[in-house]
Amino acid sequence: MKTLVRAALISATVFSGACAHASVITVTPDDLGTGLNKWNVANVRESSSAAITGTAARSGNGSVEMSLANGSGKADYVYSWGYVEGRTLGNLDALSYDWLRSSGGSAPAHLQPALRLSYDADGDIATTADRGYLVWEQVYNGGGLVEDRWTTSDILGGNFWMRQFSPGNTVERYDVSLAEWIDGPRPGAPADRLGANTAILGIEFGIGSGWNGSFAGFVDNLTVGFKGQGTTTWNFETRRSDVPEPGSFALLGLGLAAVAAALGKRRKG
């Protein structure tokens, strides 16, 4: 018994050390909330939805299912951490996610769940007129979209377009990488003057906002990393797999009782 316990402790220590800078966080419907460091559903319009379901499970028992019925639909999943030292555009060193588009929708064939980085251009919490999104979409990054098949997109080196909150417009450049946004084209508005110290305030993915037709898609295993801070992967599940099902508790109780009985006999002997 002591040998088994010691072996288990050694194994836990090894895995803890190996994963110290690469954590996987399971997100269930019970984990959703508001405020910083919580995933939350946002901007859900009429005839649209976004929820963790088991419809198209990926790496477990769930994923985020998102749908809309017409061109007025929209739905987002949002995670904000605010201003955190070191979480800058120049320090971003991992960015990927899994996504799937279901067949049967009438929305244009190139559309899929988009990913957005929320930024503050000058990295100064005191100035708010220079915030916006850097947005990644498959259509601006080559390659075809195959329906009903999960795709893993490592997008750190991909092309992103920009949506400014103030003065409130879109920088219509769809061939600019993150590295190029740091040093590259600046059409003139203060919000698009990015740099290595541009603060990344959070991340989100979503569908809609001007899409025509109906759409259904899924997202899972979103990974973000910053230099010196490691990477985090959010795995969306309907429930935690390490929590026994209700019917399993009785079996668990019987097992513990058997272990207790065996230990009792050993002590008497």
Q: What is the pLDDT of residues 141-176, one digit of tens each?
A: 998 899 999 999 999 999 999 998 887 788 888 999
Total tally of structural domains belonging to the chain: 1
pLDDT at 14: 27
CA–CA gap between residue 39 and residue 14 (Å, rounded): 30
pLDDT at 190: 62
pLDDT at 244: 52
Over residues 38-66, mean pLDDT = 97
Is 8 part of a structural domain of the chain? no
CATH of the domain at 83: 2.60.120.260
Q: C-alpha dihedral over 141, 147, 152, 158, to 10 degrees? A: 10
Is 58 part of a structural domain of the chain? yes
Per-residue pLDDT band at 243 (split at 50, 70, 90): low
Strand partners, 233: 24, 223
**Contacts (Cβ under 8 Å, ≥6 apart) of 156:** 92, 93, 94, 95, 96, 178
Q: Does the structure show a pLDDT above 60 at 67?
A: yes
Is 150 part of a structural domain of the chain? yes
Global pTM reads 0.82
Q: Does the structure show a pLDDT above 50 at 58?
A: yes
Is 86 part of a structural domain of the chain? yes
Is 15 part of a structural domain of the chain? no
Q: What are 209-226's pLDDT values in tens digits? A: 989 999 999 999 999 999
Mean pLDDT rounded to a whole number for the chain: 85
Is 232 part of a structural domain of the chain? yes
User: Collapsing DSSP states into helix, strand and coil, what is residue 269?
Assistant: coil
Hey, CA dihedral for 71, 169, 178, 18, is it positive or negative? negative
Is 31 part of a structural domain of the chain? yes
Q: Which domain holds residue 88?
A: 22-241
Is 259 part of a structural domain of the chain? no
User: Collapsing DSSP states into helix, strand and coil, what is residue 100?
Assistant: strand
Strand partners, 38: none
Q: Does the structure show a pLDDT above 50 at 1?
A: no
